Amino acid sequence: MSTLVLDQVSKHFGGVVAADKVSMQIPPGRITGLIGPNGAGKSTIVNLITGMMSLTAGTIRLGDRDLTTTSPHEISRAGLARTFQNIRLFKEAPAIDNVMGGFHRHEDSSLLASILALPSARAETRRIRARAAELLERFNMTRYASFPAGGLAYGHQRRVEFMRALASQPNVLLLDEPVAGMNDVEANEMGVIFKELAAEGMAVLLIEHNMRFVTRLCEHVYVLDGGRLISEGEPKKVIADPAVIAAYLGA
């Protein structure tokens, strides 16, 4: 298990500096927090890590492996998975099919072949379906397996999104506001799962606005504002940092 390291990472969109020389470490075995006001650059960091956006400057490494210019597909094969702030599910497809979509990193025949259930893919599809069913069971979602994902309650859609990311058995899991829109009970259930995953050795990055939630789950938190890191450290110290308080009051 390796540490994900961002070194002096920058991203410019024309005149907008969405990330400005950001250096971060996301080690295995713990949940690292990433907070900051709206527009601070949090989602941009995840887009840069996963290769969805190219860097303007800086490097990203996972252990010895340089991921700076690696394709999203190769980054996923390297063991990174994410969830999206704006849930991205195939809304018409059953919840279980959406979870199945997350398994493809480990499969030989293409995702498309699996979906079309070509003869070569049928046995594999059955196997993947069984594994997706296990995940649904673990997340108490079995009764929704055949429901169209788009028709599920918001908190349940977030779970499906999360299970899809988990299906690839990532070493590094990047969670972009994974409990947004959930009530406290649901969010706390998810928090327990995030902790279990970290305890199993996963490197977890958690973007979240709820400070109590972050304080409870994270040992180390980074704070972004205007694309720059303005504070980092233990959550209790960070939320008392005058620079952090000023950033949130300004927002």
Ligand X SMILES: Nc1ncnc2c1ncn2[C@@H]1O[C@H](COP(=O)(O)OP(=O)(O)OP(=O)(O)O)[C@@H](O)[C@H]1O
Q: By the criterion CB under 6 A, which residues form the site for ligand X?
A: 13, 16, 18, 36, 38-44, 85
154 binds, among ligand X, Mg ion, none (CB under 5 to 8 A by kind): none
- How far, in Å, CA of 64 to CA of 251, rounded? 38
Query: Is residue 70 a contact point for Mg ion (CB under 5 A)?
Result: no
Residues 74-93 that bind Mg ion (CB under 5 A): 85
- How far, in Å, CA of 89 to CA of 157, rounded? 8
* E strand or H helix at 76: helix 72-77
Residue 39: CB minimum distance to Mg ion, A: 8
**In terms of CB distance, is 54 or 110 closer to ligand X?**
54
Residue among 32, 43, 50, 98 that touches Mg ion (CB under 5 A)? 43
- How far, in Å, CA of 11 to CA of 32, rounded? 21
**In terms of CB distance, is 195 or 228 closer to ligand X?**
228
Per the DSSP assignment, residues forming a β-bridge with 181 are: none
Residue 241: CB minimum distance to ligand X, A: 18
Q: Which two tokens stand for residue 56?
A: 């303007």
**In terms of CB distance, is 49 or 167 closer to ligand X?**
49
**Chain centroid, CA 132 distance in Å:** 19
Residue 68: CB minimum distance to ligand X, A: 19
36 binds, among Mg ion, ligand X, none (CB under 5 to 8 A by kind): ligand X
The terminus-to-terminus CA distance of the chain in angstroms comes to: 37
41 binds, among ligand X, Mg ion, none (CB under 5 to 8 A by kind): ligand X
- Cα–Cα nearest to 96, from 142, 139, 140: 142
Full DSSP string of 121-186: HHHHHHHHHHHHHHHHHHTT-GGGTTSBGGGS-HHHHHHHHHHHHHHT--SEEEEESTTTT--HHH
Residue 76: CB minimum distance to ligand X, A: 20
Each residue 216-245 as x (binds Mg ion by CB under 5 A) or -, in order, gives ------------------------------
183 binds, among Mg ion, ligand X, none (CB under 5 to 8 A by kind): none
Q: Which residues bind Mg ion (CB under 5 A)?
A: 42-43, 85
